[in-house]
Amino acid sequence: MATEAILSGRGLTKRFGGLVAVRDVDLDVSKGEIFGLIGPNGAGKSTLFRLIAGIMRPSAGVVTFGGTVISGRRTNAVCRLGVVATHQIVRPFRNLSVLDNVMVGAFFGRRPRPAQERARAFGLESLEVCGLADRAQSAARTLNLAGQKRLEIARALATEPQVLLLDEVLAGLNPTETDRTLELVRTINGRGVTIVIVEHNLRAIRGVCSRLAVLDEGRKIAEGSPDEALRDPKVVEAYLGPGHA
Amino acid sequence: MFKSIAWAVAAAVALAVPFVFPGAEYLREVLFLIFLYGAMATGWNILGGFTGQVSFGHAAFLGIGAYTTTILTDAGWSVWATLPVAGTLAAIFSLLIGPPAFRLRGPYFAIATIGIGEATRLIALNWSSLTGGASGLTLTGVASPLAQYYAALVLCAGAVAIASWIKRSRFGYALAAVRADPDAAETLGVNTTVAKTQALFISAFVLGSAGSVYAMHNLFISPDSTFGFSTSISFVIMPIIGGIGTIAGPLLGAAIFTGLREQLEANPLLAQYNLDLLVFGVLLCAIVLFEPQGLLGMFDRLTAFVRRSVATARRPKIAGRDGN
């Protein structure tokens, strides 16, 4: 891929005591693509995700965004630079309205910080994109799981990110909701936002990603187009056990 | 609209009372206390209610304000000139304790604030050359009761104005987000440490200023009366009684707290054994258990219930539904 890398990881390692959750991973996400991060349970996907999002500090290695080192910075600073993450387990501000939830992102994620009316307009726009405009005034706790997952995305989108990191946004959704969410991911990508998506659902991710990285036991074992990566014998072995490759 | 009219009427009545009833000293005294405690409760609520950081150590700021006014007046300052200094010193002190305390969350933060409150009390008790130690200090400058009344009123109105501005501002969104989920707020670009520190700064300024007026009123202050733990507790009780995190709640709580305490202290049996604290303890438990949103929450539920009942009564009956 000839396009420049917008988000890169070099030698990323995360240790929890004696356990090495992520081991020396290099990663390059190109501008404008949808990059998938997959692997069996416990492979270190979510840890790697948190390292990239600035939620956790790597034990070793660096993450750069457009040439700036972002690992080790506060999460809020990483967000304001243009890299924003959604949470795997939804964390809406339950007692605030859906619009107020999104306005927090619009107020604080953008540079420069907008005034109230502009923040409101940005908020309504991202609710529109995520199909939540009709629920703007409801309390966030009244949304169902699919709605709360869309709210996570809407809130992140309101910060006007250059890179959007999605952590298992499809988990717990039925097939219809899954299709709607994948459509939403494509729409957001169509607006010029680079997307990194961590996912369990291989079939869903295969259709949406331009490239995949596969993790197993903390190491990157394959990378490439979805078809290439999923056909790789090491990947088949990681998912199905030895003898199936 | 209705709310702004209600606030304007309340302010007008408060301004007029000393002129309409010039002889009613007790009424003026009670209203003074309500305004003063209302300002304290509103100040505490900016951190404890809006931001969700429950502090059991806010007496530290009240004490700093009260001692500042007393010491500076003794040094020859005019009483009124000490008021902004009192607020400012308390706010500056908050910058020292905020950043380390905010590394702790929830109950751990609350426990740390108890320590801060007690530490300041012990410093006041032992730094005798400055504070007079356990024997306390007497304020030498005197502000007239009428001037005190208006000082408390302006302080209270100012605190309410600040609180309602915060609620509607961008800053208020940051505080609400921190209260709801600090981690999610941080991922959306809110610097949660800065937001909490700013909320504490404003809160401490209000408490410090209130401490100044407290000293003008009481004339005698001691480490136990200003920095005491029960003082800190009263700041927690008032907003919870009225409705934590709201604008009117802390004022309502202050009115009930002040009124009830006046009654309880007038009862010799209760006063002898400090049983007034028991009454507030039971009240606090009842509210936390049955109506965590306080009296305002109860009021909202009641109006919603009445509205629903009226709507049900008006709805035409559907045949068959009421049968059997």
pLDDT at residue A113 in the model:
85
Helix (H), strand (E), coil (C) string for A155-218: HHHCCCCCEEEEECCCCCCCHHHHHHHHHHHHHHHHCCCEEEEECCCHHHHHHHCCEEEEEECC
Task: Tell the residue number behind the tokens 């199909």, with chain if given.
Answer: A131
Cα–Cα dist B139/B147, whole Å: 16
Nearest to B183 among A91, A92, A104 (CB): A91
Answer for the pair B148, B216: CB distance below 8 angstroms, yes or no.
yes
- Do residue A104 and residue B177 have CB atoms under 8 angstroms apart? yes
Residue of chain B with shortest Cα separation from A77 = B189
Q: Is B289 exposed, middle or buried (0-12, 13-18, 19+ CB in 10 A)?
A: exposed
Two tokens, residue B243: 């409705």
- Do residue B189 and residue A155 have CB atoms under 8 angstroms apart? no
pLDDT at residue A2 in the model:
46
- Residues from chain B contacting residue A77 (CB–CB below 8 Å): 191
- Do residue B181 and residue A74 have CB atoms under 8 angstroms apart? no
Cα–Cα dist A149/A89, whole Å: 9
Residue of chain B with shortest Cα separation from A114 = B170
Cα–Cα dist B25/A65, whole Å: 68
Q: Is A85 exposed, middle or buried (0-12, 13-18, 19+ CB in 10 A)?
A: buried
Taking only the tens of pLDDT, chain B with its 324 residues reads 678 888 888 888 888 888 888 878 888 889 999 999 999 999 999 999 999 999 999 999 999 999 999 999 988 888 899 999 999 999 999 999 999 999 999 899 999 999 999 999 999 999 988 888 888 888 887 778 888 999 999 999 999 999 999 999 999 999 999 999 999 999 999 999 999 999 999 999 999 999 999 999 999 999 988 998 888 999 999 999 999 999 999 999 999 999 888 888 888 887 777 777 788 888 888 888 888 888 888 888 888 889 888 888 877 665 555 444
Nearest to A91 among B184, B189, B190 (CB): B184
Two tokens, residue B292: 């965590």
> Nearest-CA neighbor of B186 among A55, A63, A49?
A55
Terminal alpha carbon distance of chain A: 28
> Nearest-CA neighbor of A151 among A80, A134, A110?
A134
- Do residue A156 and residue B173 have CB atoms under 8 angstroms apart? no
Tell me the shortest Cα–Cα distance from A26 to chain B, in angstroms.
24
Q: What is the CATH number of domain A1-82+161-245?
A: 3.40.50.300
Nearest to A55 among B185, B187, B192 (CB): B187
pLDDT at residue A123 in the model:
93
User: What are the C-alpha distances in Å from A195 to residues A6, A162, B119?
Assistant: 11, 8, 51
> Nearest-CA neighbor of B37 among B294, B237, B282?
B237
- Do residue B176 and residue A84 have CB atoms under 8 angstroms apart? no
- Do residue A108 and residue B186 have CB atoms under 8 angstroms apart? no
Two tokens, residue B162: 């600040």
Two tokens, residue A233: 């014998």
Taking only the tens of pLDDT, chain A with its 245 residues reads 446 789 999 999 999 988 999 999 999 999 999 999 988 888 888 899 999 888 899 999 999 998 899 988 999 999 999 999 998 888 999 999 999 999 999 999 887 888 888 899 999 999 999 999 999 899 999 999 889 999 999 999 999 999 999 998 888 888 898 899 999 999 999 999 999 999 888 888 888 899 999 988 888 888 888 888 888 888 888 888 877 65
Answer for the pair B201, B91: CB distance below 8 angstroms, yes or no.
yes
The class (CATH top level) of B20-314 is: mainly alpha
- Residues from chain A contacting residue B184 (CB–CB below 8 Å): 87, 91-93
- Do residue B173 and residue A107 have CB atoms under 8 angstroms apart? yes
- Do residue B189 and residue A76 have CB atoms under 8 angstroms apart? yes
- Do residue B181 and residue A93 have CB atoms under 8 angstroms apart? yes
Name the DSSP letter for residue A116: H
Interface A-B: count of C-beta contacts within 8 A:
79
Answer for the pair A164, A156: CB distance below 8 angstroms, yes or no.
yes
CA torsion sign for A193, A197, A202, A204 is negative
- Residues from chain B contacting residue A95 (CB–CB below 8 Å): 180
- Mapping DSSP to helix (H, G, I), strand (E, B) and coil, where does residue A143 land? coil
Beta bridge partners of A216: A219
> Nearest-CA neighbor of B241 among B164, B299, B302, B293?
B293
Tell me the shortest Cα–Cα distance from B278 to chain A, in angstroms.
33
CA torsion sign for A86, A91, A93, A98 is positive
pLDDT tens-digit map of A196-227: 999 888 888 888 899 999 988 888 888 888 88
ipTM of the complex: 0.88
Residue of chain A with shortest Cα separation from B175 = A104
Residue of chain A with shortest Cα separation from B180 = A93
> Nearest-CA neighbor of A143 among A178, A179, A106, A92?
A92
Q: Is the peptide bond before A112 cis (omega within 30 degrees of 0)?
A: yes
Task: Tell the residue number behind the tokens 């929450």, with chain if given.
Answer: B297
Which residue in B187, B192, B246, B293 has the most chain A C-beta atoms within 10 A of its own C-beta, making it the best mutation to test that interface?
A: B187
Domain with CATH 3.40.50.300 in chain A: 1-82+161-245
- Do residue B187 and residue A76 have CB atoms under 8 angstroms apart? yes
pLDDT at residue B324 in the model:
42
Phi-psi region of A244 (alpha: psi -120 to 50; beta: other; left: phi over 0): alpha
- Do residue B170 and residue A107 have CB atoms under 8 angstroms apart? yes
DSSP H/E element including A85: strand A83-85
Beta bridge partners of B137: B221
- Residues from chain A contacting residue B186 (CB–CB below 8 Å): 74-76, 79
pLDDT at residue B185 in the model:
94
A interface residues, B as partner, C-beta within 8 Å:
53, 55, 74-77, 79-80, 84-85, 87, 91-96, 100, 103-105, 107-110, 113, 115-116, 119, 155-156, 159
Q: What is the mean pLDDT of chain A?
A: 89
> Nearest-CA neighbor of B118 among B67, B70, B64, B56?
B56
- Residues from chain A contacting residue B176 (CB–CB below 8 Å): 93, 96, 100, 104
Q: Is B221 exposed, middle or buried (0-12, 13-18, 19+ CB in 10 A)?
A: buried
Residue of chain B with shortest Cα separation from A117 = B170
